[in-house]
Structure 1
C-alpha cells in the first residue's frame, strides 16, 4: 500500500481506508482510537516525513475506485504524523475525535485518505489486509468503556434482565460499570453476582455486591472473557420454619435461576449447615441466621434470612 511519489515511475499514490464500526456495542464511551500501520518501505530513510489523515466526504468502492473517480475529502487534514522511524515497524496515529464522530453518526463514516509529501523520494509502503500475517494489517484500535443501567423489579424471580432474557454480554475485553437498582418489596437484601465465561457454558464468578431493597449501587468489573452475565439471588421469605428433627434445604427459600454457586453459613453452632449444599438438620428448637455468599468470592457481600426449628 504505497503513499507518496515513486521516484522511479513518477507515479503519485494515495491510500483510502475504511473501518466498519458496526461491531461496537451500543452505548459505549470511546476513550481512545489509534490507526496502526505497519511500515515496510521508506525512501527518505533517516529524515522526518509527514503523513496526513484526511476525512473522506463521500463513499468509494474498494475494487472500483481510481484516481479519477476518487471520493472527496476535507481540505485540511484531521491528523498529521511527522515520522522518522525506520522501516519494518508500526506507526500509530491517534484519531480519537474522528472515530467518536463516526460512532455517533455512522452514516458519516466514509473512511479516510492517507497522503504524504508528494515530492521526490517521498514514497512510503505499508502492509495491507492481503498480507499473510494479520498482525501487520492496517488496524483501528479502539479503547472504550461500557455502562449499563439494570433495573430489577419485584417480583424477585430469575436473573437480572437487560431485555427479557438473561443478561449475557458478548464482546471484547473491556471494563464494565453496572449501575444496579434493586426495586423490590422483598423481605431481605439481595446479592448481585457477575460471572464470566469463554464458551457461554462454564461460568466463573468475578465479583459481587449486596443490595438492600430500594438501594442503588455501582459495580465496576474487568471483563477479559468473551461472555458475561449478571445474576441475582435473594430470599423468597424472611424466614423458613420446620420442626425439630427435620432435614431442610435452604435453597428452597432462595431465588437463584442461574443456579449460581453459593456458600452457606449458620450463625448458631447448635444448628449447623453444610457450607456447600445448604442442607441442615434441625437438631434443637432454636433460631439461626443463614448467611449466603457467592461460593468462589470473598464473603464480604451477602444476604441472609432466618431458619426456625420449632418444637
Structure 2
C-alpha cells in the first residue's frame, strides 16, 4: 500500500533577514548565496497521523520539485537533519528557528536539472516518527554552505499541487494469526507465510482433522481490526481424517482459526428436560454458531442452541457458522428418551 503525504508546514529561513518569516511563499531556498553571503535553509513537517496502526513501513521517500539551481552544472550536497523542537510555519525565522541534530540523517549529492523532482529516501526516520509520533518535529534541509550552493524548491503554497513537497510512504499490514487448540477432535494445520497481493493479504491454511473424531468438524476463519471484535470470514467442513485447504483474503489486522466439533456423536436426555447442545460442542474461541433441528417436534433455538425435549423422539442438530451463508456444517444426534 502507498500513502502520499503533502507537507503540513514548510518555510525557509535566511540570515539575510533574520527576523522575517518566509512561510507563505510559493518557493523556498536552501544554500549559500555568494553575492550577499547569506545562508538559506528549509524547514518541513509532515503529519503522519493518517497511517493506520499495526503496519510495517517498507519505504519512505521525500520528493521535492527543484525549480532553480543557481550554480548550473555543479552537483550539490543536500543534507537532511531532524528537528528537535517544533516550528510554526507562519512565525519561524532565522533567529527563532528550532534546533536540530548535529549530524545529518540523510545526505544526497544531487545533479538534477531544474524543473524536475528530487527523491530522497528517509525510511528509518519515518519509521521512528511512526513509532514515536511525539518526536516528529519535522526536518531541516541545508547544503554545505561553503560555495554557491543555492537551490530553489516549490512549497505547499504554490498553485500546482503536483509540485508540493511530498512524503511517499509504502507499507504493508502487520498480520497476526491467533490459534486456540480444541480439546476434542484435535486437528493440525499449516499456515503459509503472508503474501501482499495488491491491497490484501492472502493466507492459506492446510487442515488435517483427527481420524478418530466422532463427527465431522467445522473450521471457521474470523478477522478483527482490534483483536477484540471478530467477524466471520469463511468456513469449511471436514470429515474425520480429511485434509483440506482454505484460502482466505485478509485485509484486516488480526485473523484467527477456530475449529468447532462435537464431543460425541449423540446426546441422550429424558423427555421434559431442557438442554443446551453447546455442552456437547467444543468451541474454544466461542465463535457464533447457528443451530437447526431436523425434527419439528423437537425444535431448537437457532441462536442459543437451547431446546426442550417435548416428546420421545430423535433429531439431528445441524451446526453452522452463524454469520456465513453457506452449506458447511457438522451435526450430531439428540435422543429424547421416555
Interval of TM-score (by shorter of Structure 1 and Structure 2): 0.5 to 0.7
Of 17-26 and 178-187, the range deviating more from structure 2:
178-187
CA separation of 1:105 and 1:197: change in aligned 2, threshold 3 A: closer
1:149/1:179 contact within 8 Å kept: no
Identify the match of residue 319 of structure 2 among 257, 280, 292: 292
Q: CA deviation at 1:112?
A: 0.8
Encode CA deviations 1:77-128: one digit per residue, 9 max, x unaligned. Answer: 1110001111111111111221222222221111110001324531111121
Of 87-96 and 67-76, the range deviating more from structure 2:
87-96
1:116/1:122 contact within 8 Å kept: yes
Map 1:83-98 → 2, pairs under 5 A: 83-98=110-125
Give unmatched runs, 5+ long, in structure 1.
Answer: none
Q: CA deviation at 1:147?
A: 2.0
Q: CA deviation at 1:224?
A: 9.7
CA separation of 1:280 and 1:147: change in aligned 2, threshold 3 A: same
Of 10-19 and 164-173, the range deviating more from structure 2:
164-173
Match of 1:240 in 2: 267
| TM-score normalised over the length of structure 2 | 0.51
Match of 2:17 in 1: none
Output the CA distance in 2 between the equivalents of 1:236 and 1:166: 32
Other structure's SS at 1:251 match: helix
CA separation of 1:164 and 1:119: change in aligned 2, threshold 3 A: same
1:169/1:228 contact within 8 Å kept: no
Encode CA deviations 1:200-258: one digit per residue, 9 max, x unaligned. Answer: 99999999999999999999988899999999999999999999999999999999999
1:150/1:162 contact within 8 Å kept: no
- The answer as to 2:277 corresponding to 1:218 is no
Output the CA distance in 1 between the equivalents of 2:159 and 2:186: 45
Of 147-156 and 100-109, the range deviating more from structure 2:
147-156
CA separation of 1:50 and 1:206: change in aligned 2, threshold 3 A: farther
Output the CA distance in 2 between the equivalents of 1:12 and 1:181: 70
Output the CA distance in 1 between the equivalents of 2:261 and 2:168: 41
Output the CA distance in 1 between the equivalents of 2:97 and 2:259: 55
Give unmatched runs, 5+ long, in structure 2.
Answer: 1-27
Alignment size in residue pairs: 311
2:208/2:244 contact within 8 Å kept: yes
CA separation of 1:217 and 1:161: change in aligned 2, threshold 3 A: closer
CA separation of 1:260 and 1:105: change in aligned 2, threshold 3 A: closer
CA RMSD between the two structures: 8.7
Output the CA distance in 2 between the equivalents of 1:300 and 1:124: 67
The runs of 4+ residues in structure 1 deviating greater than 6 Å are: 152-311
| TM-score normalised over the length of structure 1 | 0.54
Output the CA distance in 2 between the equivalents of 1:299 and 1:268: 21
Other structure's SS at 1:191 match: strand
CA separation of 1:254 and 1:233: change in aligned 2, threshold 3 A: same
1:152/1:161 contact within 8 Å kept: no
Of 144-153 and 299-308, the range deviating more from structure 2:
299-308
CA separation of 1:241 and 1:102: change in aligned 2, threshold 3 A: same
